Amino acid sequence: MFRDSTSIGGVTMKIKTVYIDDVPSERNKYERRFGEHELSRDRFELISLDTPKCLDDYNVIRKLSPQLILVDYDLSRPDSNRDVIGISGLTLIAELKQHYRDIPIILFTKKSVFDNNNLSSFSSLFSVVDKVIYKSDLFKKESVLLDELYNIAFSYQELSKIKKIKWDTIFKLLGAHDDDYDKIKYSATPAMLQKEFTITGIAKWVTEVLLQYPGILYDSLYAATFLGICEEEFMSPQIQEYFSNAEYSGIFGKNRSFWWKSKLFDIACAKMDDEELDLPIREAFHRYWERVNRIELDKSVCVNNGDSPAEWVCYILKKPTMLNLSLPYSPDTRPEVMDEARVSFKAIKTTNDVNPEMIDSIVRDQYYEIRRSRRK
Amino acid sequence: MRFVVHGGSKLMEISEYPQNLKTFLDKYGRGYLDYSTTSSLYKTVKDMGELVDVSKNKKRKTPPSWAVKIERNKPLVFVKNKDNLQVDICCDIQGKGNVVTKQNIELRVWSLNQQMSYRDEVDSLALKDELEIVNWKRVISRFHFDLKTTDTTKPEPICHLQIGGDSGSCLSEGSVSIKENCWHPSQLSIPRFFHVPFDIILICEFILVNFFPNESLDTRKKPEWVQLVKKSEEFFCKEYIKKCFDSLNDSKQTMLGNLAPDPKK
């Protein structure tokens, strides 16, 4: 869902975008596509360039003052002198990042470049890249990538306007509430805790931590499960209006919807009676709603046994699950302040996507028992 | 009287116990424990870990002696609950290898609630002044969960719960010394109820269920929590419960008779 709050005086801000590709037909193709597509023509001003080979080429880029740079990965096409520049897009991005620290630089490339789409083997190289976008996905129907791209560039612009970044300014940009300040700080990188703020560092933290892991902010699935209702119910106009003050409207959030967990809690509890307040939110909210509005809400349903309301979200199946029918899972390096990841018994039984090495050792035997039970 | 723990599947070895305690402190104590009071337990856990280390034990000829102690004057303190009750625990649990030789746990319930702490019709005005200074903090219940000592002359159950018992020393909160002022007479040491043995994890579960039932509901539903507690149940409770069960089949003696044999004279 794209919420256009990026316009000034009714005019959408256009992002000046440099696209670097050594293949002329690719440059022409994307200049045309960006200029014609309804989701890009008013938001991006695309200037395509060949791979820079000398100081003059870099000066061309500098004079354009881009707000976003897209770089193809494969730059191995020989030039007119039949010389091959000999660097990949990643190397070029690393070079560009030294000069353009405050704008996003995206690896924009074909899927076939990476074996079987397996990016993990390249992950150590991707630290210089702000995002990887596949060419084939950008203009697909139903794709949200153009919104994402715009959102990233716009958010970088917001960040770069700040002369001296402090925690107060970050909280303001996030639209955070006092109650969440400590939690937000606990999720920050060591560099940020030492007040070494860089725009790229903040951007990566917001997109790869704060918006990536549930705990401080929730997407619709986690928000719904937290309230004990199904996702469809949560997205209904009535519920959305009720929780409108909990919606996240900070940087990097404009193309996806998130809600502050603390605000969901406050709003849900605000008018509950004492009996409802003694219950967990997932039990209390639908009771309150039924009492006040005479409407029965559909509850979140456990993917294992159909019980409701479910209590957590299965990391693998992305479905609600009961706590006692799930095991703790460590698939990533999320900060402790975030919600723990859990995998449902159903995911263990019916998929091969659960890595037993990531299951908490105290219950790993239980994982194997569940796997064995499939065969019975 | 000693319990020897043997047999059973997935029985916890004592070498696992320090890690289980650490897991409890790191993962499940949040929101319940006052972490400014956990340092001595963390230290005990670390020291115990070194004592019962598996690789070290392979070289030993005798099982290692170990101890988990929380001193009375530095108890492990829980945060106050919604009823303004605050619990603290201290303990002296000792063993040799998989044999528990000493098990004493004290649990105190402090009230920070004026209406509960001060009884108009019974307590003195002097006490009122004293309590006012310490924000009405007063021990309203004290419990001892003890393993009977070998040299006792009392006919007490092997594992028992005693209400009241020896009064503790003052609680230190910074520079302030807070007297218990517990109204249970310290001279009264009976009755003693036979009770399942507790360790730190089991008594913490007990505290969560009683003092933080709603807040701890999600935690107690998790399989990993259940496993953690079950390991302590296996190690500390299994033999006792087996004794209780066996005594039901003993036609010559009652359960209490089996669990509280007359002391040797």
pLDDT in tens, chain A (376 residues): 334 445 545 567 899 999 999 999 999 999 999 999 999 999 999 999 999 988 899 999 999 999 999 999 888 777 667 766 667 888 899 889 988 988 999 999 888 776 555 555 666 666 778 888 999 999 988 888 999 999 999 999 999 988 888 999 999 999 999 999 999 999 999 888 888 888 989 999 999 999 999 999 999 999 999 999 999 999 999 999 999 999 999 999 877 899 999 999 999 999 999 999 988 999 999 999 999 999 999 999 999 999 999 999 999 999 999 999 999 999 999 999 999 999 999 999 999 999 999 998 889 999 999 999 986 6
- Find the chain B residues whose C-beta atoms sit closer than 8 A to any C-beta of A: 10, 23, 214, 217-218, 221-224, 226-228
- What torsion, rounded to 10 degrees, do the Cα atoms A231, A235, A240, A243 define? 20
Q: Which residue of A has its CA nearest to B224?
A: A363
Q: Nearest-CA distance from A324 to chain B in Å?
A: 5
Backbone angles phi, psi at A8, to 5 degrees: -120, 120
Structure tokens at A368: 């194997």
Residue of A278, A311, A363 lying closest to B223 (CB–CB): A363
Q: Do A363 and B227 touch (CB under 8 A)?
A: yes
- Cα separation, A12 vs B158, in Å, equals 79
Tokens of A252: 């990097």
Nearest CA in chain A to B228: A362
Whether the complex's predicted ipTM is more than 0.90 is answered with no
Flag whether residue A326 sits within 8 Å of chain B, measured between CB atoms. Answer: yes
State how far the alpha carbon of A116 is from the alpha carbons of A19, A74, A113, A119, A126, in Å.
25, 17, 9, 8, 17
CA distance B108 to chain A (A): 25
Is A362 near chain B, with CB under 8 Å? yes
Residues 6+ apart with CB under 8 A from A287: A276, A279
CA A20-A25-A26 angle, 5° bins: 45
A137 touches chain B (CB under 8 A): no
Write the CB contacts of A52 (distance below 8 Å, at least 6 apart in sequence).
A20, A58, A60, A61, A92
Instruction: Assess A365–B contact: CB distance below 8 Å, yes or no.
Output: yes
Low-confidence stretches of chain B (pLDDT < 50) are: 1-9, 265
Tell me whether residues B217 and A280 touch, CB distance under 8 A.
Answer: yes
DSSP summary character for residue A339 = P
Contact B99, B63 (CB under 8 A): yes
Q: Is A338 on the interface with B (CB under 8 A)?
A: no
Give the closest-approach CA distance of A278 to chain B in angstroms: 7
Give the separation between CA A88 and CA A122, rounded to whole angstroms: 13
Residues of B in contact with A365 (CB under 8 A): 10
Question: What CA–CA distances, in Å, run from A157 to A147, A150, A154?
Answer: 15, 11, 5
pTM > 0.90 = no
Q: What is the DSSP letter of B109?
A: E
Nearest to B222 among A278, A280, A324 (CB): A324
- Mark yes or no for CB contact A326/B223 under 8 Å: yes
Overall size of chain B counted in residues: 265
Q: Which pLDDT belongs to residue A255?
A: 77
| CB proximity A279 to B under 8 Å | yes
- Of residues B102, B103, B101, B71, the one with CA closest to residue B89: B71
Asked if A280 reaches chain B (Cβ–Cβ under 8 Å), the answer is yes
Give kind and range of the element (H or E) at residue A289.
Answer: helix A281-293
Sort out which chain A residues have CB atoms less than 8 A from B228's CB and list them. Answer: 362
**Quick one: pLDDT at residue B18?**
92
Q: d(Cα A152, Cα A169) in Å, to the nearest integer?
A: 18
Q: What is the pLDDT of residue B191?
A: 85
Contact between A311 and B221 using a beta-carbon 8 Å cutoff:
yes
What pLDDT shows up at residue A110? Answer: 87
Best CA proximity match to A168, nearest among A204, A195, A147: A195
Which pairs with CB-CB distance under 8 Å and at least 24 residues apart come from B34-43?
Answer: B34/B77, B34/B78, B34/B79, B37/B74, B37/B75, B37/B76, B37/B77, B37/B88, B38/B76, B40/B70, B40/B71, B40/B74, B41/B68, B41/B70, B41/B76, B41/B200
Polymer length in residues for chain A: 376
Q: Does A277 touch chain B (CB under 8 A)?
A: no
Chains A, B: CB contacts within 8 A come to 31
- pLDDT value of position B6: 45
Q: Which residue from A278, A279, A363 is facing B224, i.e. has the nearest CB?
A: A363
A16 neighbors A45 (Cβ within 8 angstroms):
yes
Interface test with A, best of B222, B232, B234 (most A CBs within 10 A): B222
Give me the residues paired with residue A16 across strands. Answer: A45
Give the model's pLDDT for residue B152: 60
Cα-Cα end-to-end distance for chain A:
45
Please name every residue paired with A46 in a beta bridge, in sequence order, or none if there are none: A17
Omega of the bond prior to B197 within 30 degrees of 0, cis?
A: no
**Do A328 and B222 lie within an 8 Å CB cutoff?**
yes
User: Does the CB of A323 have a partner CB in chain B at under 8 Å?
Assistant: yes
- A362, A365, A368: best mutation site toward chain B, by most B Cβ within 10 Å? A362
